Amino acid sequence: MSDELVSNMVAKMQGHTIVMGYKFLGMYVVERLREMGLEFVVLVRDEAQLPSLHKEGIPAMGSPIARSYQALVKAGAARASSIICTFDDDGDNLLTILNAKKINPKIRAITIVNDDELYEAAVASGADVVVAPYELAGQILAMSTVSRGVSAVFVKGNMKDKFVAEFTVDREDVAMRFSELCRLASVIMVLNREGQLLPNPPDDYTVRTGDTIYVLTERGELLELEHRLAEKGVIRLEPPQG
């Protein structure tokens, strides 16, 4: 894939996604966009990355900081539907959003912020979705030190900062009515022993050993929830270590 070919490809793109940066995060975003069958172009600060990207068949262009605006124009920001900023430098990400919104006010701007204190600044710059990876990961890891159950976290919307905890019913011979279980915990779904996901099981569904329950919970409630489930003989708590 040559530079000329990439330029021609990009010139024909419409409603595509622009991915800024190609380290681990940019690379994985590209993998997912490919899986989703979406059109995209990658912009990298370091032009030395271009030959290897072209070799992999990834449409990529150089975007040195001094020519950031021009690079976005060349990448078809005016026709793009979204832009995903994955640079390590938050300043670069914010600058990119400002430029992209100037070119195309309707573009959907998605960015990471490495310093979570810049969250508001990113929103003020026009970002539609802001994800703080280190904040998110720190939260997950910290919660996981006290519970093995934490399995998902809400990052925005009405449920922001709530968790989903996942518990496998590991006590022997458990047979509990779903309605009874719901009195113990805010169960949102059950993955039964056969691997079938039951989002809204009927009240008379019997939760048995080997099923996995998904519970909506909050940070301060997690430990109490685990203990409640253990006391009622649903799950097993491991003995304290250390």
Partner 1 sequence: MSHRRVKPHESFGSRLRDTLDVLLYGPFAILRQIRIQLGLIAVMFGFGTIVFMHYQHLSPLAAFTGSVSTITTIGLYAPNITAMPPLEQVIMVVIFIVSVGLAASLVQSIVTTAVSREILREQLVAKRVSRLSGHVIVAGAGRLAEHTTKWLVNIGVDHVVLTPNRELLRQLIHHGKLGVYGLPERAHEALRIAGVSRASVLVCVFEDDGDNLLFAMNARRLNPKLRILMSAHDKSVAQSAQTSDVDMTLPIMDIVSQVLAQASYSEEVVGVGFRKGVNGEYPVYSEFQVGSEGIGLEELSRVTPIIMMMRGSQVLLNPPPNTVLRRGDTIYTYTEDHSKIRDLRERLRRKAAKQLGHT
The residue assigned the tokens 């005016």 is: 78
How does 88-109 read in b/e, with b if 16+ C-beta sit within 10 Å?
Answer: eebebbbbbbbbbbebbeebeb
Cβ 2 to partner 1, closest distance in Å?
27
Strands 82-85 and 17-20 turn out to be parallel
Q: How far apart are the first and last CA of the chain?
A: 57
Q: How many residues does the chain have?
A: 242
Q: Least distance from C-beta 157 to partner 1, angstroms?
A: 4
State in angstroms the smallest separation of the CB of 66 from partner 1.
26
Nearer to partner 1, 14 or 158 (CB): 158
Residue 175, both tokens = 């047979």
Closest distance to partner 1 from the beta carbon of 4 (Å): 27
- Is residue 121 within 8 A of residue 93, CB to CB? The reply is no
223, two tokens: 């430990």
Nearest CB to partner 1, comparing residues 53 and 131: 131
Residue 197 beta carbon to partner 1: minimum distance, rounded to whole angstroms: 6
Nearer Cβ to partner 1 (3/116) = 116
Q: Identity (one letter) of the amino acid at 16?
A: H
Kindly tell me which of 63 and 90 has the beta carbon lying closer to partner 1. Answer: 90
In the numeric block, the tokens 């518990």 are attached to 167
For partner 1, the closer CB: 32 or 102: 32
Write the CB contacts of 174 (distance below 8 Å, at least 6 apart in sequence). Answer: 207, 208, 209, 233, 234
Q: Would you say 4 or 35 has its CB closer to partner 1? A: 35
Least Å from the CB of residue 228 to partner 1: 12
Contact residues for 106 (Cβ-Cβ < 8 A; gap 6+): none
